[in-house]
Amino acid sequence: MIKLKSTLLGLFVCAVFSVSSHAQTQNQINDKFRQLNEYLPTANSYRTASGAPGYAYWQQRADYKIDVTLDDDKQTITGKATIKYYNNSPDPLKYIWMQMDQNRFDPKTSMDKKSETMPKTTKGMTMESFRKYVDERTFDGGFKVTSLTDSNGSDLKNVVVGSMMRIDLPEPLAAGAITEFNISWWYNIPDAKKYKLSRQGYEFFPRDENRIYEIAQWYPRVTAYSDYEGWHNKEYQGSGEFTLEFGDYDVAITAPSDHIVAATGELQNSADVLTQDQRDRLIEARTASVPVFIVTPKEAVENEKSHSTQMKTWRFKADNVRDFAFASSRKFIWDAMGYYMSENGETVMAMSFYPMAGEPLWSDISTHAVRHTLNVYNKYALTYPYPVAISVNGPIGGMEYPMISFNGARPTTHEDGTRTYSRRTKHGLIGVIIHEVGHNYYPMIINSDERQWTWMDEGMNTFVQNLAHQEWKDDYPLGRIDPRNITGYMTSTNQVPIMSNAESVIQKGNNAYAKPATAFNILRESIMGHELFDFAFREYAQRWKFKRPTPADFFRTMEDASGVDLDWFWRGWFYTTDHVDISLDNVRHFTIDTKDPEIEEAFKRKQEMEKRTHPSYFSNDDLPKRVDEFPGIKDFYNDHDEFTVTNKQRNEYNKLIAELEPWQIDMLKDDSNIYLLDFTNIGGLLMPLYLEIVYTDGSIEEKRYPAEIWKQDYNQVTKMIVTDKEIASVVLDPKYETADTDMFNNFFPRRILESRFDLVKEKANQARDMLKENQEKPKSLDDYKKEKQKEDDKNKKLSEENFKKLLDEYK
């Protein structure tokens, strides 16, 4: 055992070399490093313990053949579909549940409207907004099913439950069997701008009396049936999104003949609907390095005027998609550019559809952003498997469907007809396009359940979106994945864990987007490193593309493919509401006890002398001393202080040295500095320790210790650092990597930190207008006193009144 001596306190501290921690067994009851087993479902033949689909994995399938007509005069959709349903499950099914999401806009049945409460205070409601409020409740929305028959033409019994419909089959559909049924319906298309979270609808342009239609949730869709939940029959309330089955789509869209239609899938009959010029341009665009207009701005302006009463049918096919959406308008400019993917030799058409109101921003940005998204996501997830990727500008602010997304940002149109846009609008548009096109991967292809686990699509997508931002331009703000931005939220004492149901999540923006995206960022940048993280994250995408992963499959795959035990991380970040606050309490300095009495006694003497700081140790030094006047009273002790080395000590040392091996003697001569760093985990969430050590010689060293450092005791650990230099200061998490919520206790010695508030205040104070300040009339002190008295009286009265009023309101 080697003894350490403290250079700070003059205490001789005895410690073993492995000082990592004091084990505390009572902590283990609630072990943060325990495997997640009790949270994760038991592995089975459908889903393996390594996080991959099992040998008996199955999912249902639904193919759709649909004829649909868009009536621009009445703003209706009328459709007729043949749906082929494959029961790949091992279970016989007596009925099939359908999602009737348009029923959300039926005021008679909508759960969404029923659960909405009338605001208490009606003051301030304008006629305009009251009209909207009434409209919402009188709008004749929702699916009107006109027929539902089996393949023989016989009627099928059905029951509508809010936004769901149960089709009762005459015979149970056996495991492995296929059934076909026909359904016809129509509905009034809602004005998208009248609803929050409408996700689809039309936008009216009064100037030219045209509309842009963004059509989605427009046909009865088969509800998902899975091995872990059976029928996902959950009422649609608007906030949670969708869970759907894959299948092939063959859709014929009939629209006014001067409309341009964009849709999920590949256009099958371009000769019927496009001019020869337009078809030539499409071919040119395939290999172009910049977007090429298929419909030019000039042609779009001409189309706006024609208001044709003729109809045209556009046919689209889409294979292996989980949904189908389209957009249609006279107003569309259309540009396109091919993206050749060297991974598989295929070319994807990146395309954009937008009105003149989107210019000049859209033709510059949109198609580039689509192509950029494919480029980046292909790297982190999987090679894009579809023939087109589309961005449409219309009424919807941002919403994703397979191969097609709706993105709302536009420039400002000024009175003189010119249009300008700010940097924020531009960044915002790039961001929203990357985000919505990115949703093709999460969850359109990696088909997680959006309604139950919002973080699996939004969190992962937001994370990769931010990686794409970084590759767009160097100084793109980090935004939602910056650990510093999540700290405030993470200290709230009333959050719910990320692993909560989507519809019940309050603070969804933080919980489903920012917190998981930040967690992935920390895993990649700090805990796993790019190589291990990227491999495992991509492996998850590869395993689950066109399949239905659950959170457990993701957690398991990340560990399985990287070899890193992350249960502690998932537990802390996804199953608890703990936050990160680690304190660097103390840095204690020691050197090695050499056992050599000549050195050690001198060291003790120095320590003792350093303690003698009080003035009375020195202030009487000049006075004559009795021992000098009577030298006879002096003896051995007068010439030798208590730290004088005796012969006995020398002998003992020599005896010790004689018994030691040469390497042991060397160790005793080591003049290293030994530092013990004490850390306390205040927030509860375990994180690695990242240290920046500045030495007295000015050199700087970075040290990184994994979270496992907390394994024995996750309230307190001590880390030893041995160095031949002397430490001047230590910072814990100097780069703000861990979302530590209180940085004040991360510095040794403590430092005054400028808070975000201070910085902003400073900046605001600097932005003064001195000219204006100088124009103020000078006032006397008396003036101010009078003014203040007046102001105080007024405020007091006002505040009393307001408080009383507020109290009344809440009664």
Partner 1 sequence: MITLCVAGNGHAHRFYASFTQIELQPTKGTIEVIHRIFTHDIEDLLMRYRGSDGELSDEVIESFLKDYIVQAFAIYSPDGNMIPLNWIAVEVTLDNIFVYQEAPLQEGQETLIIADRILQDLFDDQSNTVNLKLDGKVKSHTFQKDSKMYQISFNGRTGDYPFEN
Q: Considering only residues 263 through 282, tell me which ones interact with partner 1, judged by CB under 8 A.
A: none
Smallest distance from partner 1 to CB 640, Å: 52
**Which residue number, 5 or 234, has a Cβ lying nearer to partner 1?**
234
- CA dist 66 and 215 (Å) reads 14
Specify the stretch interacting with partner 1 by CB under 8 A; choose among 227-235, 418-426, 585-593, 632-640.
418-426
Which tokens sit at 360? Answer: 């000049």
Please report whether residue 197 would count as binding partner 1 according to CB under 8 A: yes
Cβ neighbour number for residue 547 with a 10 Å cutoff: 18
Report which DSSP code applies to 634.
-
Candidate list 397, 497, 684, 734; residue touching partner 1; CB under 8 A: 397
Site for partner 1 in 484-543 (CB under 8 A): 485, 488-489, 491-495, 506-510, 513
Q: What is the dihedral of CA 478, 481, 487, 490, to 10 degrees?
A: 160
Please report whether residue 139 would count as binding partner 1 according to CB under 8 A: no
Please answer whether residues 577 and 615 qualify as being in contact, where contact means their C-beta atoms are separated by less than 8 angstroms.
Answer: no
- CA dist 395 and 425 (Å) reads 16
**How many angstroms separate the Cα of 25 from the Cα of each of 18, 30, 131, 231?**
18, 10, 66, 45
**Which residue number, 565 or 793, has a Cβ lying nearer to partner 1?**
793
**Residue 130 touches which of Zn ion, partner 1, none (Cβ within 5-8 Å per kind):** partner 1
**Which residue number, 704 or 797, has a Cβ lying nearer to partner 1?**
797
Smallest distance from partner 1 to CB 204, Å: 11
Quick note: the x/- pattern for partner 1 over 160-189, rule CB under 8 A, is: ------------------------------
**Residue 235 touches which of partner 1, Zn ion, none (Cβ within 5-8 Å per kind):** none
Smallest distance from partner 1 to CB 737, Å: 20
Site for partner 1 in 738-767 (CB under 8 A): 742, 755-757, 760-761, 763-764
Site for Zn ion in 414-473 (CB under 5 A): 458
Candidate list 422, 654, 696, 789; residue touching partner 1; CB under 8 A: 422
**How many angstroms separate the Cα of 255 from the Cα of each of 76, 145, 189, 200, 333?**
11, 21, 14, 17, 17
Q: Residue ranges of the alpha helices (H) in 625-780?
A: 626-629, 636-639, 647-659, 662-669, 756-766, 770-774
Smallest distance from partner 1 to CB 16, Å: 33
Angle between the N-to-C axes of helices 361-380 and 460-472, in degrees from 0 to 180, rounded to the nearest 10:
120
Kindly give, in sequence order, each residue whose CB lies less than 8 Å from that of residue 290, ignoring residues fewer than 6 positions away. 337
Site for partner 1 in 666-685 (CB under 8 A): 682
Please report whether residue 796 would count as binding partner 1 according to CB under 8 A: yes
**Residue 459 touches which of Zn ion, partner 1, none (Cβ within 5-8 Å per kind):** none
- CA dist 339 and 241 (Å) reads 29
Please answer whether residues 598 and 10 qualify as being in contact, where contact means their C-beta atoms are separated by less than 8 angstroms.
Answer: no
Quick note: the x/- pattern for partner 1 over 223-252, rule CB under 8 A, is: ----------------x-x-----------
How buried is residue 597: exposed, middle or buried, by Cβ count under 10 Å (0-12/13-18/19+)? buried
**Residue 78 touches which of Zn ion, partner 1, none (Cβ within 5-8 Å per kind):** none
**Residue 396 touches which of partner 1, Zn ion, none (Cβ within 5-8 Å per kind):** partner 1
How buried is residue 224: exposed, middle or buried, by Cβ count under 10 Å (0-12/13-18/19+)? buried
Candidate list 120, 655, 768, 772; residue touching partner 1; CB under 8 A: 120
> Which segments of 155-272 are extended strands (E)?
157-161, 164-173, 178-188, 201-205, 210-215, 221-222, 225-226, 230-231, 247-256, 260-263, 266-267
Candidate list 51, 256, 338, 408; residue touching partner 1; CB under 8 A: 408
**Residue 660 touches which of Zn ion, partner 1, none (Cβ within 5-8 Å per kind):** none
Smallest distance from Zn ion to CB 339, Å: 22
